[in-house]
Amino acid sequence: MSTAAVAAAAPRRLSVRSSLSRNRRWALITSYVFLVIFAIFFLIPPYYMVVTALKSDAEVAHMATNPWIVADGFTLDQFKILLTQTDFLIFFKNTVIVTVSVVAITMVVSVLAAFSLGRMKFWGSSILATGIFLTYLVPDTLLFIPLFQIVKAVGLLNNYWGMILVYPTLTVPFCTWIMIGYFQSIPKELDEAALIDGAGHMQMLTKIFIPVALPGIIAAMIFAFTVSWAAFVYPMAFLYSADQQVLTVGTVTSLIRGDVYKWGMLMAGALMAAAPPLVIYAFLMDYYIAGLTAGATKG
């Protein structure tokens, strides 16, 4: 190409690039505008819950002032009432016991099973892996009626230990499923080396697989935690007295007394009940998202 041709082409190329960058800038601005609209839609309820929880009862009941802002000064009275005059702390304690136990059971069961299904093979193991995935797709609303009979038969109706019995059906299949994916992604050379060094299966699992697949284990733990913390159908159907209740159901049923809803206190309760999953999400967002997408993007 002659120098003259290059010189002639240069201005055109420049103008193309500047129009491209102008297009790019417009695309960016429209993206931000629409994202702000969607963000408002997504964040309205949590924002309004916070605002309500910080108001006094008088302001919540008052209908003339703007409900979207705290006009009469912030107060933590709603939280004080919630913690001192209601069963909220009992619900909290019950939920912690149930959730911690369910996470522990889930992790032991699913790590063992995933190791065996992902790395070893026995008769029927591939059918079992498919079966686990299908169980994960069975919703709790299909099972709560027969489980009601089973929980009643073992004498755990209206007892939060019954929740520890039934919640693993919500957590174990998915956790096993994503752990299989993580274990399979570990290079085979690692366990061959361990075998040659004379390691047993349990040693192989605890010394190699668990440390290497730790991100997957954390993602699975977060999943198990959030699912058991948020479970609603089973406690709604199986628990009915306040001393056995868990947070989700306790907040929406027991805190409502009579016809007058104390919305400030209810919102304070809902926020405090939602806080642990939100905190975990804030600090471990990448693991949280890895667990969320693993079901479909890992095989």
Partner 1 sequence: MADTVQTWSPGLQGVGLQSSTSRNLRLFMRRRSTIAFLMCLPLIVIIVSLVLYPACYSIYLSMLNKAQTRFIGLDNFRFLLSRDVFLMVMEQTAIFALSAVFFKALIGLITAHLINNLPVKGQRKWRGMLLVPWVIPLALSSLGWWWLFDPTHSAFNYVLSSLGFEEVPWLSSPYWARFSVILVNVWYGAPFFLIMYLAALKSVPEQLYEAASIDGASAWQKFVHITLPMMRNIIAITVLFSLIVTFANFDIVQIMTAGGPRNMTHVFATYSFMLGIRSGDLPLGAATSLFMFPILAFAAIFILRGVRKRGREIG
Consecutive H or E run containing 227: helix 214-230
Minimum distance of partner 1 from residue 4's CB (angstroms):
25
Does 173 participate in binding partner 1 (rule CB under 8 A)? Answer: yes
By beta-carbon proximity to partner 1, the closer residue of 207 and 298 is 298
Amino acid at 222: I
Q: For residues 112-151, which are near partner 1 according to CB under 8 A?
A: 112-113, 115-123, 125-135, 137-150
Does 268 participate in binding partner 1 (rule CB under 8 A)? Answer: no
Q: What is the 3-state secondary structure (H, E, C) of 30-68?
A: HHHHHHHHHHHHHHHHHHHHHHHHCCCHHHHHCCCCCCC
Q: Which of 31, 80, 104, 215 binds partner 1 (CB under 8 A)?
A: 31
Region binding partner 1 by CB under 8 A among candidate stretches 4-12, 75-83, 96-104, 272-280:
272-280
Which of 272, 184, 181, 174 is closest to 221 using CA atoms?
174
Burial classification of residue 174, based on how many CB atoms lie within 10 Å of its CB (0-12 exposed, 13-18 middle, 19 or more buried) = buried
**What size, in residues, is the chain?**
299
Region binding partner 1 by CB under 8 A among candidate stretches 7-15, 34-42, 155-163, 209-217:
34-42
Region binding partner 1 by CB under 8 A among candidate stretches 2-10, 62-70, 73-81, 206-214:
62-70
DSSP code, position 198: T
Which residues, including other chains, have CB under 8 Å from residue 212's CB and lie 6 or more apart?
Answer: 186, 190
Which residues, including other chains, have CB under 8 Å from residue 203's CB and lie 6 or more apart?
Answer: 194
CA distance 193 to 202: 15
Does 233 participate in binding partner 1 (rule CB under 8 A)? Answer: yes
Does 216 participate in binding partner 1 (rule CB under 8 A)? Answer: no
CA distance 177 to 181: 7
Does 74 participate in binding partner 1 (rule CB under 8 A)? Answer: no
Region binding partner 1 by CB under 8 A among candidate stretches 1-9, 11-19, 63-71, 75-83:
63-71
Does 265 participate in binding partner 1 (rule CB under 8 A)? Answer: no
Minimum distance of partner 1 from residue 191's CB (angstroms):
8
For residues 203, 207, 212, 218, the Cα torsion angle rounded to the nearest 10 degrees is: 90
Minimum distance of partner 1 from residue 73's CB (angstroms):
19
Region binding partner 1 by CB under 8 A among candidate stretches 9-17, 73-81, 174-182, 209-217:
174-182
Does 12 participate in binding partner 1 (rule CB under 8 A)? Answer: no
Q: Which of 6, 8, 15, 68 binds partner 1 (CB under 8 A)?
A: 68
Which of 206, 281, 249, 220 is closest to 98 using CA atoms?
249
Question: Mask: binding to partner 1, 175-214, rule CB under 8 A, as x and -?
Answer: -xx--xx--x---x--xx--x-----x-------------
Does 99 participate in binding partner 1 (rule CB under 8 A)? Answer: no
For the record, the structure tokens of 78 come out as: 């709603």
Minimum distance of partner 1 from residue 218's CB (angstroms):
16
Does 58 participate in binding partner 1 (rule CB under 8 A)? Answer: no
Which residues, including other chains, have CB under 8 Å from residue 201's CB and lie 6 or more apart?
Answer: 120
Does 16 participate in binding partner 1 (rule CB under 8 A)? Answer: no
